[in-house]
Structures are given as C-alpha cells and as structure tokens.
Amino acid sequence: MGADDRELAAMILGFLRNELALDVAQIGEHSALVTTGILDSAGLVRLAALLERRLRIRIPDRDINAENFDTIRRIQTYVKHRAPG
Amino acid sequence: MLLALLGALALAPFYWLLTPARRRRDVLALASLAVLVAYDPRVAAVVGGVALGLFAALRAMRVPSTARHRVLVVGGLVALAALFVWNKRGARGGGVLPSQGVVLLGVSYLVLKATAALVDGAGGADRRPDLGEIVAWLAFLPTYPAGPIERLEHFAPQRPGFDRTRALGGLERILLGLVRALLVAHYLGVWSDPILAEPAAHPRALRLLALYAFTLRFYFDFAGYSDIAIGLAALFGYDIEENFDNPLVRRNLVQLWQRWHMTLTGWLRRHLFIPTSRALLRRGWPDALAIGAAQLVTMVFCGLWHEIGWGFALWGASQAVGLVWVGIVARDLGRRLPHALVAWWRRSPVAYALSTALTFNAFALPLVFVVSSVGGGFRYLALLVRR
C-alpha cells in the first residue's frame, strides 16, 4: 500500500469515526462496509461528497454503489480510476 | 393464485424435457404473456407496449448524444408516470386499466422496472438487451404481480439451465412462501381485522396487539409472496434477487429498511435518494439538511407508490423522520455522549432488545395510517393511550 493509499485509508477511517460515530477499531481495508450495512446510504453520499471535495474528483451518481465503495480497498481502486492523469 | 401456481408446477417438467435450451427464455416469455392475456388482455398490451417503447429508447441511446438521451429519458418518464397514475386511478374505478389488486400492483412494479432500465440506459449501461430479453424480463410471471423488482442487467444475461439443487431449493422456497402467506399471514389477519375495524369495542392491550399483528401479517404476506416468486423462478432456472432479510428484528430503522423489500429500497436508493441528496449537496445545502430532505422525498414517494393518498404519504414521512433520527440525530448524540455509555449501548443485550423493540414500534405504529386514513389513524393512536 503506497503513501497515497494510506492517506486515503486514514481519511476514510477518520470520516467513519468522526462523522458517522462508528467504532473503527475492527475496520480493515478489506472489511465490507456497504453490504454489511455499516455504511448506509446517507453515509455513502456524505463519503462521496468528502472524496470529491478533498481529492478534486467527480463521482457520477451511478458509481455510488457497493461495487465501488464496499471496502476501503475498493474505494482506493475506484479513486485511482477517477483521478485525472 | 393457487391455480396458477399448480399449473406452473405441473408444466415445469415439460418445460425442462421438451424445450430446447436456446428457446427456454422465449417459451417463458410467451407463457407469461399468455397468462396475462387470459387474465386481462389490456394488461398484456401494456406490458408489450412498455417493452417496445423501452427497446426503441435503449436502441436510440446507442448514439452518444446527451441531448437525445435527455429527451428520451424525460419522454419515457412522463409516459411511465402517466401509466402509473392511470393505473392508480383504476384502483378507484376511474381509470382505463383493470381495478383488480394483483394486476394493478403488477403495473406499479412494471413502471419501476422500466424506469430503472431507461435511466441506466441513458447512464451508459454496458449491455443493450434485445426485445426478447426485455419482454421476458417485464412479463416474467413469478415476479410480475408483486416483485421482487428484478433489475434488467441481473435478469437478461441469465440463460436457464437445469440444476437439480436449485430446482429442489425452489420447491422448498415455494412451500415456505405458502406457509408464510396463506397460513401465518391469513390467520394473523383473521384475528386482527375485527379489532382494527372497531378498536373502541376492544380492550386497549388488544388494540396495540392488533396493530402488531397487522405489521407481522404485512411482513409474512409480502415475504411469503417473494418466497414463492423466488422459488418459482428457481424452478424455471432463474436466480432472482432476494427481497427480505428478517427486517423486523433489527436494532434501528436504517437496518430495518436495508432489509425490508430490498429490491424496492435498492431502486429508491439508486434512482431517488442518491440523485436528490447529491443534487442538494452540490447546491451548497448543509449535509444534514440535504440528507433529511432527500429522505423525506424518497420515503413519501415510497408511500405514494403503494397507494396515492394522505395516509400513505404520512406513513412515508414518519419513516423518513425515523431514518433521519438514526442517521443524523442519534449519530450526533453518539459523538457527544460519554464513550463508555455509547460502547455499552452498542454491546449490551439489554440495549439490543430495547432498541429492537423501539424500532419495531417505530415501524408498526405509523402503519395505522395505512390501515385507516389520516384521521382514523390519529383516532386509533389516541385509543391506544386512553381506555
């Protein structure tokens, strides 16, 4: 995992802990967030907004789903795919 | 319903023995259309019309033109919305479509399915289905009357092949559904209907229990029909998306709604909640307000989709308030309360039992507006607190 991935993972965990008041001690990069219901639709929308704001990327509505957002690893992969250049 | 089910069970062996593999989808589509024609030819005409319109729109979307896509989506949505409203008017005897419950409900499901396919098509869905796939998907008899709301991209690529384990699993699922819908739900209704109709004539505790029984009946009825649909589909070689996952034993409303009528809530999330909340966020609305407004729009729509009326709208709004409470207010509270207390609440079996009971009540009590009207619902709730 590179430095960018680590920063992104820390950002996501910080969001889950501070904004959604979740206990992140047990959440790893492969923990399912959406399919287990840990991250609900409202949390998903807020996380997407945070990623757009911080990383200056555009996430289409149709991409906000479990396929792209179920784990921290998947989010990292998706963000790389969306990042310019 | 039982007759159609028995007919399907009797025909299943012939379907597998006599139909060539490449023709199974078409045979199922034709059989489904034939049953709909026998029930009411106008319903089959609606299914055929929607299938043709959708096929033409998706075909026209092959040309990469944002303006063309927008026109097709707006035109399609207006036509589907008109069909939906006419259908609902039919329920009150004033429309052009039949007013019998099952088929009426089928048209509401049809509208949601077609809407999703249209919007996904404009959004650049990878696969462009042919007309046969669209007809087979829209008319598919196991899911036609009451869902699950199967997505086109999940259904269309499937090619039914015989699998003994799946077929036997399907039969078990049908049996489970029959027990839930025709036995459990039926007797819950037999017991609770007289109390719900005349609450003042019964003791207060029974009024509350009748409302709980109605909630359980609602669940067993709906989940039972979903079981039958999923089982029947499996018997004919199709995997259909699940619809319920023990929603009434969840510890908050968000968890409950994540597991109640999941194909509908998935549709609402993809096509209403996410676009609405994100559009509001992009306009600079604060997070809590944007999420709250989107929840309200989504859940009121959910109520009105079931039936156009103030009672259903109020029921939907009540669920939106509960979802906002769990998703925003309670989370905010969780940040302010002592960590030890929050940790106890999350892990204690007592807290689990308490929150599950509260969640069940938050779901069950507003159903009184569905059972009755807005005024009748409030009168019923008043009767719960006075003798």
Q: Return the exposure string of B82-117: e unless at least 16 CB atoms fall within 10 Å of the residue's CB, then b.
A: ebbeebbebbeeeeebbeeeebbbbbbbbbbbbbbb
Burial class of residue B356 in the structure, from the number of CB atoms within 10 Å of its CB (0-12 exposed, 13-18 middle, 19+ buried): middle
Q: Are B319 and B363 in contact (CB under 8 A)?
A: yes
Q: Which A residues in the span 1-60 are in contact with B, Cβ-Cβ below 8 Å?
A: 18-21, 23, 37, 40-46, 48-49, 60
The Cα–Cα gap between B202 and A66 comes to 48
CB contact under 8 A, A23 and B346: yes
CB contact under 8 A, B254 and A37: yes
Percent of chain B whose predicted confidence (pLDDT) is above 70:
95
Angle at B245 between CA A77 and CA B105, to 5 degrees: 105
Burial class of residue A83 in the structure, from the number of CB atoms within 10 Å of its CB (0-12 exposed, 13-18 middle, 19+ buried): exposed
The Cα–Cα gap between A9 and B244 comes to 32
* pLDDT tens, position by position, A1-28: 666 888 999 999 999 988 888 888 888 8
Chain B hits for A27, Cβ within 8 Å: none
pLDDT at B103 (0 to 100): 45
Q: Are B319 and B264 in contact (CB under 8 A)?
A: no
Chain A hits for B273, Cβ within 8 Å: 41, 45
Chain A hits for B266, Cβ within 8 Å: none
pLDDT at B40 (0 to 100): 85
The Cα–Cα gap between B266 and B261 comes to 9
Angle at B292 between CA B151 and CA B347, to 5 degrees: 85
pLDDT band at B305 (very low <50, low <70, confident <90, very high): very high
Size of interface A-B (CB pairs under 8 A): 52
**Stretch (H or E) spanning A18:** helix A3-18
pLDDT at B96 over 50: no
pLDDT band at B101 (very low <50, low <70, confident <90, very high): very low
Among the listed residues B25, B27, B50, the one whose alpha carbon sits nearest the alpha carbon of residue B107? B50
* pLDDT tens, position by position, B246-292: 999 999 999 999 999 999 999 999 999 999 999 999 999 999 999 99
- Could you give the ipTM of this predicted complex? 0.91
pLDDT at B39 (0 to 100): 84
The Cα–Cα gap between A82 and A56 comes to 10
* pLDDT tens, position by position, B312-367: 999 999 999 999 999 888 888 888 888 888 888 888 999 999 999 999 999 999 99
Question: Cα distance from A38 to chain B (closest Cα, Å)?
Answer: 9
Phi-psi region of B129 (alpha: psi -120 to 50; beta: other; left: phi over 0): beta
Percent of chain A whose predicted confidence (pLDDT) is above 90:
64
Establish if B19 touches chain A: CB-CB under 8 angstroms.
no
Percent of chain A whose predicted confidence (pLDDT) is above 70:
94
Domains of chain A by residue range: 12-82
The Cα–Cα gap between B371 and B103 comes to 21
Q: What is the pLDDT averaged over residues B79-86?
A: 90
* pLDDT tens, position by position, B27-76: 999 999 998 888 888 888 999 999 999 999 999 888 777 788 889 999 99
Chain A hits for B327, Cβ within 8 Å: 40, 42-43
The Cα–Cα gap between B302 and B94 comes to 23
Q: Residues B24, B30, B31, B34: what is their CA dihedral angle, to the nearest 10 degrees?
A: 180
What kind of fold does domain A12-82 have according to CATH?
1.10.1200
What's the residue count for chain A? 85
According to DSSP, residue A61 is labeled G
List Cβ neighbours of B367 (8 Å cut-off, separation of 6 or more).
Answer: B211, B214, B215, B218, B315
- Output the CA–CA distances (angstroms, integers) from residue B285 to A47, A55, B213, in the order listed: 15, 20, 41
CB contact under 8 A, B335 and A18: yes
Chain B hits for A23, Cβ within 8 Å: 343, 346
Query: Which residue is closest to A20 within chain B, CA to CA?
Result: B331
**Stretch (H or E) spanning A40:** none
pTM of the model: 0.91
Q: Return the residue matching tokens 């008109």.
A: B82
Establish if B267 touches chain A: CB-CB under 8 angstroms.
no
Q: Are B161 and B239 in contact (CB under 8 A)?
A: no
- Write out the two tokens for B69: 């896509």
The Cα–Cα gap between B299 and B292 comes to 11
pLDDT at B94 over 80: no
Residue type at position B301: F
* pLDDT tens, position by position, B113-152: 999 999 988 877 667 788 999 999 999 999 988 889 999 9
pLDDT at B171 over 70: yes
Mutation target to probe the A interface, by most A beta carbons within 10 A, among B265, B269, B289, B302 is B269
- Write out the two tokens for B208: 């509350």
- Measured over the CA atoms of residue B366, residue B273, residue B127 and residue A63, the dihedral's sign is negative
Establish if B23 touches chain A: CB-CB under 8 angstroms.
no
Mutation target to probe the A interface, by most A beta carbons within 10 A, among B126, B255, B271, B278 is B278
Q: Are B189 and B217 in contact (CB under 8 A)?
A: yes
CB contact under 8 A, A45 and B269: no
CB contact under 8 A, B328 and A42: yes
DSSP string, B11-35: HHHHHHHHS-GGGHHHHHHHHHHHH
Angle at B354 between CA B352 and CA B359, to 5 degrees: 95
Q: What is the pLDDT averaged over residues B233-246?
A: 95
Chain B hits for A44, Cβ within 8 Å: 274
CB contact under 8 A, B277 and A42: yes
Chain A hits for B277, Cβ within 8 Å: 42, 45
